[in-house]
């Protein structure tokens, strides 16, 4: 079975859905932050191992505590996964912290800041070269619409 086969993609999706449910509903460890998401799951083609990428909406300390709590509860989570997902082998789960969401937010913020600075620079340049020949009071909107209709 290839890594990106249809069967493997379906297994990844099913394991991701069940891991999300188990972490949200059944794991009662206080270290696990309530805003924890399973972003992606990669089950090996031989179904022996699984990488679960976890995202935590909170501070770095809360994220580290969540990963520690999940690693402690791995046996319980694996047993629940075996009970709900019918696979030949129940994969051993490795929880990894996924920081792609935080990276995306940071990059978006930087792009917005640069765009705002450039927007102000462009506005300043256009204001300097603007002639006062155009006066808004002289412009009648109704007249211009009539010109276009004819």
Tell me the per-residue pLDDT of 22-62, one tens digit each, with 9 for 90 and over.
999 999 999 999 999 999 999 999 999 999 999 998 888 99
Asked if residue 75 is part of any domain, the answer here is yes
Asked if residue 79 is part of any domain, the answer here is yes
CATH of the domain at 86: 3.30.300.20
Asked if residue 115 is part of any domain, the answer here is no
Q: Note down the domain range covering 23.
A: 6-99
Joined tokens for residue 64: 């580290």
Asked if residue 35 is part of any domain, the answer here is yes
Quickly list DSSP for the chain. Answer: --TT-HHHHHHHHHHHHHHHHHHHHT---TTS-SSEEEEEEEE-TTSSEEEEEEEESS-HHHHHHHHHHHHHTHHHHHHHHHHHS--SSPPEEEEEE--HHHHHHHHHHHHHHHHHHHHHHHHHHHHHT--TT--GGG--HHHHHHHHH-
Asked if residue 124 is part of any domain, the answer here is no
User: Does the predicted model carry a pTM greater than 0.75?
Assistant: no
Residue range 52-72, pLDDT digits in tens: 999 998 888 999 999 999 999
């Amino acid at each position: 079975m290839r890594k990106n086969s249809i069967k493997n993609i379906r297994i990844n999706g099913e394991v991701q859905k069940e891991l999300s449910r188990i972490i949200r509903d059944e794991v009662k460890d206080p270290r696990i932050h309530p805003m924890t998401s399973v972003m992606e799951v990669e089950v090996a083609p031989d179904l022996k191992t699984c990488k679960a990428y976890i995202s935590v909406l909170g501070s770095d300390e809360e994220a580290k505590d969540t990963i520690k709590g999940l690693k402690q509860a791995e046996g319980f989570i694996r047993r629940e996964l075996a009970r709900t997902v019918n696979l030949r082998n129940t994969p051993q789960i490795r929880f990894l912290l996924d920081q792609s969401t935080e990276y995306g937010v940071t990059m978006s913020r930087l792009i917005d800041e640069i765009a705002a600075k450039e927007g102000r620079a462009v506005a300043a340049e256009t204001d300097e070269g603007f002639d006062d020949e155009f006066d808004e009071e002289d412009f009648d909107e109704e007249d211009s619409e009539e010109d276009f209709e004819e």
